[in-house]
Amino acid sequence: MNRSNMRISFVYLYIAVVLLVSWAIEGMSYYTGGYQSTVENIIYVMITPAVIALCFQIWAYKKSLWGEVLSIVKNCNAKAILFAIFYPLLFIGALSIISLFCGIGSVSPTSFSSFMQSLYMFPLYFLLDFPVFWGEEYGWRGFLLKHFTSSMGKFKATILVGLVWALYHIPLVFLLAKSTGIGNPMAVSLVQAVTAFFFSFAFSHAYYLSGALLPVVLLHWVWNMLNPAFLGNIYTNKQGIITGDIFFQNGEGIMGLVLSLLMAMAIGWHFIKSDKSSRAYRDA
């Protein structure tokens, strides 16, 4: 086996280990402590990709821990930061407007007032939440996407990472939906997984804009703060500012699936053109 194939083999081993460990944490949490224990242990599920990725980087790829830490901000640029902020803002804003315009949802003044009063705390929340969201993004984009891209290009790499990300979410969403009664657990988990797959194109784009992890972590955090705040929480079945059928209107529900599909098609086409240009350059 040549060195390149060996490196990719380690990546597939990484996928197997991360999924098995994550699923084990979710399963044990649910069957030993029920819904509350599962929610409390989500933090351990989220940091699993990074912890295992760091082990692989040091053991299999002989990377330095300090070098991997620096990848958080290395080559970061304003374009990537702006995309990380405005993509989820526009996405959630579009779904909110559609929901209101179609009469699917209605505004909760109390929830809106509470949200506005908490805005000044968002910088502190980001600093406190950063290690947890970095835990996912270092594993998926900083390790997995990076290795796949070097061997197969942006489009195929994003598809593979998206599939893994979708599989990673399915058991957790299924167990939470089973507890909260938000809908048919299988349907909820499958829709959320497919939406995550499509949404991974935006995450890849945020990473490719600079190669730094900070924009991707910021995108993930903004999404996780604003999507449940406005469109309800699909994990806990709690209403947001726009009250209505959470499973239907949520960014990780039916409406989110449709919009994320359209965005994935647009971003995916950009990746395909970029990959063709890269191949033409290498062949020249």
DSSP of 64-103, one letter per residue? -HHHHHHTTTTT--HHHHHHHHHHHHHHHHHHHHHHHHTT
Domain total of the chain: 1
Residue 237 · residue 174 · CB < 8 Å: no
- The mean pLDDT value of the chain amounts to 92
What's the average model confidence in pLDDT over 188-215?
97
Residue 174 · residue 185 · CB < 8 Å: yes
What is the reported pLDDT for 58?
86
What is the reported pLDDT for 5?
53
Output the pTM of the full model: 0.93
Domain that holds residue 139: 3-283
- DSSP per-residue letters across 43-58: HHHHHHHHHHHHHHHH
Distances (CA, A) of 70 to 20, 208, 219: 28, 16, 19
Residue 189 · residue 106 · CB < 8 Å: no
Q: How confident is the model over 79-115, as pLDDT tens digits?
A: 999 999 999 999 999 999 999 999 999 999 999 999 9
